[in-house]
Amino acid sequence: MTALVREPIPLGAGARPQTAGAASLALRPLLDPPRRAARVLAVFPSALYLEMRGEREPRVLAVVGSDANRLPNAVVVVAARRDQPFRSVREGGEAWVGDGRVDVGLLSVRVRRWWDPSPVLGAMPPSALARGVRALETALGAAGMTGGGLAGHPDPVRLAECCAVGDLAGAVEAAERIVGLGPGLTPSGDDILSGLLVALRLVGGAVRDGGAAVRLADWLGAAVTADAGTRTTALAATLLHCAAAGGAGGEVAAVLRSVAGHEQAAPAVRRLLAVGHTSGADLAWGVLAGCRAALALTVPARHARRVTA
């Protein structure tokens, strides 16, 4: 991620004190145009979520502290949780987004940098992907990953199986059954789908002859985002749209880079599993399923079965 600046910003009379921020490129459609009204969906010590009025995605924008989980739809500010950057913000309150800034409560964030939520993995031969998948499996096992919020539910398993053999119809049916399934701002089913979609697209795009995985991501992404706005939370719907376009949160991006051989798998996995109550495990489950499917759709079936056993 590009380093944030801490340069002083001149203030006019009566203006809010401003802080610098780095915004995801996925938010350009919200931050570049003139200012529009938004509503505060939720406020936490390290993050707040704003919902824009209108139907176009991304509808939800996150403003997060420098030490918070970095979502693909986030503006990251220089303040950390201990600085209580969102103490003046109230749930249900009004906000303004546009002209390169976010104004909410007494907080005014001016975007000074942009970051790309789609990590560059580089070209991989199938043999390198096979090693990366094995390393990810080993790291997840060592970290004691559980099944997440949908442990024991048949549809995530069915979804992974259908993706691995390129069964588009079966994958779409299983995916549509878990959209919005589970409690919280990001239900478990949506976290699984987000991890799966971003892995299929980015890993499939990086591995040699990975076009089948990318096409699967295209179809699955179109299916689960078509009516996500009416089937799940506003935040989860936006994250599904981001994932369908290849947008990954910081912790997911690190795991994908580890699969590509650019980072150590164990620390990346630990950081991802620490996200939320079950979100980290659900995202990890989806990422693993997507990586396994990208490999299975690339290499001979016998080799794929050895890796995914």
State pLDDT tens for residues 76-127.
999 999 999 999 999 999 999 999 999 999 999 999 999 999 999 999 999 9
Residue 176, in any domain of the structure = yes
Tell whether 289 and 178 lie within a shared domain: yes
State the amino acid at position 235 in one-letter form: L
State mean pLDDT over 274-283.
94
Query: What is the domain range of residue 182?
Result: 126-308
- The reported pTM is 0.90
State mean pLDDT over 7-28.
71
- CA–CA separation, 240 and 225 (whole Å): 6
Residue 75, in any domain of the structure = yes
Look at residue 7 in the predicted model and tell me its pLDDT: 38
Residue 6, in any domain of the structure = no
- Does residue 201 register a pLDDT over 90? yes
Residue 10, in any domain of the structure = no
Tell whether 111 and 243 lie within a shared domain: no
State mean pLDDT over 2-7.
37
- CA–CA separation, 198 and 255 (whole Å): 11
Cβ neighbours of residue 128 closer than 8 Å, sequence gap 6 or more: 207, 260, 261
Look at residue 14 in the predicted model and tell me its pLDDT: 46
Percentage of residues of the chain with pLDDT beyond 90? 86
Look at residue 147 in the predicted model and tell me its pLDDT: 79
Residue 254, in any domain of the structure = yes
Strands 101-104 and 107-115: antiparallel
State pLDDT tens for residues 121-165.
999 999 999 999 999 999 999 998 887 899 999 999 999 999 999
Look at residue 158 in the predicted model and tell me its pLDDT: 97
Cβ neighbours of residue 226 closer than 8 Å, sequence gap 6 or more: none
- CA–CA separation, 203 and 47 (whole Å): 29
Last residue of a domain, one of 115, 140, 175: 115
Look at residue 83 in the predicted model and tell me its pLDDT: 93
- Does residue 58 register a pLDDT over 80? yes
